[in-house]
Structure 1
Amino acid sequence: MPLARISWLATVGICLVAALLLLLNGYYGYAGVLLAVGAAASVNLV
């Protein structure tokens, strides 16, 4: 697995975990932004 793919996977994973933590704390807007960033980063995995 190339290093570039690993870095994008890590970026998507970090965004998802951070969004989940923000959702649990009630920061819905910021969680939505992080989900959007994670979705945009996941485009590079295809």
Structure 2
Amino acid sequence: MPQLNRLAWIVTVGLCLVTALVLLISGYTGYAGVTLAVAIAAGINLF
């Protein structure tokens, strides 16, 4: 079960990073920053 939890967090971080990149390209810098912060917060759970 721990491997499944880790995989779920990796997917969450990856999706947040992709979303932040799309938002940044679209010009939504504020939302991209918030999404990046969420990705970092989710990434803490990987350690």
TM-score by length of 1: 0.97
Structure 1 stretches of 4+ with a deviation exceeding 2 A read none
Percent of residue pairs identical: 59
- The alignment of Structure 1 onto Structure 2 pairs a total of residues equal to 46
Cα deviation per residue 1:7-46 (whole Å; 9 max; x = unaligned)?
Answer: 0000000000000000000000000000000000000001
Which structure dedicates a bigger proportion of its chain to helix? 2
Please give the root-mean-square deviation of Cα atoms over the aligned residues, in Å: 1.0
